[in-house]
Amino acid sequence: MRAKIDENMPVDAVRLLVGAGWEASTVHDEHLVGAADRRVIGACRQEGRVLFSLDLDFADIRTYSPEAWSGIVVL
């Protein structure tokens, strides 16, 4: 599985996911800090990554329909 950690998540989350066998990167790694939500989730789609975020906007399934993305995990 591939993951992207949003800017509002602790960077240590990458280490936890990698330890569980995920390939993980951060929004910081890809210079997407401060980017619009649509740009961040678009990068996830393009890369086939699950987004991990604390941003409740991503929990709105009317805007971010589950079948349209590799996955969105809002904690």
The helix or strand, by DSSP H or E, that contains position 72, with its residue range, turns out to be strand 72-74
Residue 13 vs residues 9, 49, 68, 73: alpha-carbon distances, Å:
7, 15, 24, 13
Listed by start position, the domains of the chain span: 2-74
Alpha helices of 7-36 — where are they, by DSSP H? 12-19
Total Cβ atoms within 10 A of residue 57: 11
Quick: pLDDT tens for 40-70.
999 999 999 999 999 999 999 999 999 999 9
Residues 31, 38, 70, 9: is their CA dihedral positive or negative?
positive
Quick: pLDDT tens for 13-39.
999 999 999 999 999 998 999 999 999
DSSP 8-state code for residue 2: E
